[in-house]
Amino acid sequence: MSYPTQFEISQLRQQNVVKMVESIAVFVLCLFTTAFLPQLLFKYFYANAQLTVEPPIFGYISLGSFVVGVVYFLYCAFTNFQRSLKIRRLEKGLAEMSDECCGKCKDDEDFMPEVETKTAAVKMMRKAASKRKTLVKKVE
C-alpha cells in the first residue's frame, strides 16, 4: 500500500527539479534574447536607416523578455511550493500508515516486507531469464 505513495512522492520531487531546470533555461533564453535580438534587428532591419534615436522595439524586447523570465520563474516556484505541500501531506499519511501497520513487524523482529518483495521479484526475473535462455537454445 505504501509503494504507490512512495512512487508519487518520488515523482513529485522529480517534477520539482524539472520545473526549476526549465525555469533556469527560460531565464537564460530571456537573457540571450535581451542581449542578441536587438543586435540582430539592427544588423538586418535597421542597417541602411539613418537612426538618430533608438527604436522603441529595443526597449520592448528587453522589458518583454524580463517579464517572461520573471513570470515563468514565479509560476514554477508557486507550482513547486504546491507540490512540496502535497509531498508533506503524503509523507505524513505514509508515516501514519506505518504507525498503523499489520503488526507482523512488531511481532517478528526478522520480518522485512521490502526484502520479501525484492526476493520474490528477483526469483521472477531469474525464472524469466532461464526461460529466455531455453527459448534461444531451441531456436538455434
pLDDT tens figures, 10-65:
999 999 999 999 999 999 999 999 999 988 988 888 777 777 788 888 889 999 99
Who contacts 90 (Cβ-Cβ below 8 Å, separation ≥6)? 5, 8, 9, 12
Do 92 and 29 reside in the same domain of the chain? Answer: yes
Do 57 and 125 reside in the same domain of the chain? Answer: no
Tell the residue number behind the cell numbers 500508515, with chain if given: 97
**Neighbour tally for 72: CB within 10 Å:** 18
State the pTM of this model: 0.63
Q: Which residue type, as a one-letter code, is found at position 9?
A: I
Do 60 and 12 reside in the same domain of the chain? Answer: yes
CA distances from 127 to 41, 78, 121, 139 (A): 65, 47, 10, 19
Do 94 and 108 reside in the same domain of the chain? Answer: no
**Residues of the domain holding 125:** 103-140
* Residue 52 in grid coordinates: 538618430
Q: Quote the CA–CA distance of 37 and 63 in Å, as a whole number.
A: 13
Do 54 and 90 reside in the same domain of the chain? Answer: yes
Q: Quote the CA–CA distance of 73 and 84 in Å, as a whole number.
A: 16
pLDDT tens figures, 94-112:
888 776 655 555 555 555 5
